Structure 1
Amino acid sequence: MELCLLALDLDGTACNDQGRLGEGTKQALAAARAAGHAVAFATGRRDVDMLPLGEDFRCADYLVLNNGGKLVRTADGAVLSNTLVDADAARTLAQRCLQEDWILHVVSGLYWAVNRRDQGLLDYVEKVGVTPVLFHSPDELPLTGIEGFMATADRGPICRFIDQAQLPLVHVHSEPGCVDIMPGGITKWQGLSRLAQLLQVPVQRVIAAGDYNNDLEMIQNAGVGVAVQNALPQVKAAADYVTPHDNNHDAVADIVEKFLLHS
């Protein structure tokens, strides 16, 4: 059997609604890897967002983080590639958010900063177990090392400002209530394509699965695009296959069984 690369979105796809991998999912991924296939988690999560997953991140061989901006090998934590935000764009965006009192999350590895706290932030802090740094000036940020931003409560005006100012940034809804902001040109598919090239896996043997808008491009461009049963209607419409089960009932096991163990 030829090597395939299975790329899985995490939240709403591989993870259940509690943000964890089900036992059936973990067993299926172990079986896929034992059969010689490679597994990648392709997610909008940043390093800090991966903390609640605990050691389960090791169920994959690779992590495609930041919606495609960062590639990490799980065996040794090696960063294979990492696309950073333009420093001038970072300064401009941070300064405008400070002026307007728009909440902006700034991330770089496990570094996490925010300019204002609200209840939503406090709830998320409790979930991940990490408290972000408060910044009051762009000069307090690692402007030459920022991997991306997140916008939550003020995502509308922040996205409009990015577009109006023509900053070299892209923004995408990664889940309800959250927009991820990345360097221009970054998508999950772009990151996944880079990984496939490194592994010398042709596009035809890439299987990509997801549930939300930021998964659409990789589902449309992979050799096999899969939507889980709970995916948005437009994601299902773009997929070659829709799983019979949803993310709370180990949809990943459906994918592994159909495409990797008995193909």
Structure 2
Amino acid sequence: MKGRKIMKFVFDLDGTICFKGKPLSEEITNALDACRRLGHEVIFASARPIRDLLPVLPESMRKYPMVGGNGAFIARDGETIEVTAFTTEVAEAIRQVITAFQLPYLVDSHWDYAYSGSEDHPIYKNIDPLKAAKKVALEDIRDIVKVVLFPGDYLDAVLSELQKLPVCLYEHTSENIVDISPYGIDKWNGLSKLGVEAGEFIAFGNDANDASMFLKAKESVCVGGHQVREMASLQVASEEAAVIEMLDMLSEKYSGNIANRNT
């Protein structure tokens, strides 16, 4: 077993293994370390851009393979190796929607960002906590990679306009936001760029943007009661202890001791 990765374990972050925007707890970190000691590989796949994904991880895990921005950012060994931006035409169309409805927004470039939302919104607290980027004006962002809109009372009208565009949309009702990625970009797309193959990984997630990887996973674990649980093979409560118990069980199940069994 030494030197060989038995199974890849892929984790969403917010609401899956870290809660209320806080960094990974010591207990979760220990469970991930135990998973790796059994020979498995750990990969993170988040809606956050890499810039905002890194601060919630212990330094020892910041060079693990990562998918950020729902697939728009790909990182390995501490380096961002690929970034997918919107086409110029689609970026301009999104700008027009923002202007037409006077919407607050979070717009990410390759590293810097533009933000016009409320500082009281939970998402604001997760933006660049390490102060590694610059907050710039929207017109100063040349390549737009990821967009979060705060539609307020205009949700239906905003979705109607966005659905006309070649983009990937995720509506997060609990936060009243709409998450937009370039067409064809999702977490599974990002994982495939890291060399992950269908049926050869375990996925943990809790929201609609995890559906693409759930559908390709050997086992998929929905944390909490989101509708995406219908695409998962397993479900646990949205509680750290329950997630750790499931992770421990699956780590052991796919360890070298039983790797050759029909499971």
Contact preservation (8 Å) 1:12, 1:247 = no
Query: Which residue does 2:18 correspond to in 1?
Result: 15
Query: Which residue does 2:6 correspond to in 1?
Result: 3
Deviations along 1:34-56, one digit per CA (max 9) or x if unpaired, are 23221111111113432541535
Q: What is the TM-score normalised by the length of structure 1?
A: 0.80
Deviations along 1:104-126, one digit per CA (max 9) or x if unpaired, are 22102331113x343445x6445
Contact preservation (8 Å) 2:151, 2:158 = no
Query: Which residue does 1:258 correspond to in 2?
Result: 249
- Structure 2: distance between partners of 1:55 and 1:216: 26
Query: Which residue does 2:235 correspond to in 1?
Result: 242
TM-fit CA distance, 1:239: 1.7
Choose which of 150, 160, 165 in structure 2 pairs with 1:152.
150
Contact preservation (8 Å) 2:106, 2:117 = no
Query: Which residue does 2:98 correspond to in 1?
Result: 97
Change (3 A) 1:57 1:134: farther
Contact preservation (8 Å) 1:103, 1:153 = yes
Query: Which residue does 1:141 correspond to in 2?
Result: 141
Query: Which residue does 2:37 correspond to in 1?
Result: 34
Which aligned pairs between 1:96-115 and structure 2 lie closer than 5 A?
96-114=97-115
Contact preservation (8 Å) 1:43, 1:67 = yes
Query: Which residue does 1:68 correspond to in 2?
Result: 71
Give the unaligned 5+ runs of structure 1: none
Query: Which residue does 2:221 correspond to in 1?
Result: 226
Query: Which residue does 1:191 correspond to in 2?
Result: 190
- Structure 2: distance between partners of 1:187 and 1:127: 21
TM-fit CA distance, 1:150: 0.6
- Of Structure 1 and Structure 2, the greater helix share is in 1
Change (3 A) 1:247 1:133: farther
- Structure 2: distance between partners of 1:134 and 1:65: 22
TM-fit CA distance, 1:213: 1.5
User: Residue type of the partner of 2:250?
Assistant: F
- Structure 2: distance between partners of 1:12 and 1:57: 21
Return structure 1 stretches of 4+ with deviation > 6 angstroms.
none
Identity across matched positions, percent: 25
TM-fit CA distance, 1:180: 1.2
Contact preservation (8 Å) 2:103, 2:150 = no
Secondary structure of the structure 1 residue equivalent to 2:52 = helix
Contact preservation (8 Å) 1:7, 1:42 = yes
RMSD: 2.6
User: Residue type of the partner of 2:219?
Assistant: V
- Structure 2: distance between partners of 1:18 and 1:53: 8
Give the unaligned 5+ runs of structure 2: 255-263
Counting matched residue pairs gives 244
User: Residue type of the partner of 1:162?
Assistant: L
Change (3 A) 1:227 1:127: closer
